Amino acid sequence: MLAQVPYLIALALVIAGVIWAWTGAHAVGNGAAVVGAALLAAGVARLILPKSASGLLANRRRWADVLALGVLGAALLTVALLLPPT
């Protein structure tokens, strides 16, 4: 069960970011930033933790997981920073 903790933390942060973005047009950038940061944190956790401790974050090879989470997280953070404030 402890192996699922990093996944559950990342999932909770993604859900929180989606809910935050859903609250209105003024909060979309903040919600995207939270989701992007959660994905980057999940990528770092996958990079640092061994496979036995990374739980459901370990779906493919380590480099593929880190690359996918890093690219998606960086893209969402870029979108969050480029969105004009409302």
User: Taking the domains of the chain in order of start, what are their residue ranges?
Assistant: 2-82
| pTM reported for the whole predicted model | 0.91
What number of residues does the chain have? 86
**pLDDT tens digits along 36-52:** 999 999 999 999 999 88
71: helix, strand or coil: helix
The DSSP letter of residue 33 is H
Question: pLDDT means per 10 residues in the chain (86 residues)?
Answer: 91 96 90 96 95 90 96 96 84
Angle subtended by helix axes 62-82 and 28-48, to nearest 10: 160
| Measured distance CA(65)–CA(32) in Å, rounded | 20
Contact between 55 and 4 (Cβ < 8 Å): yes
Percent of the chain topping pLDDT 90: 79
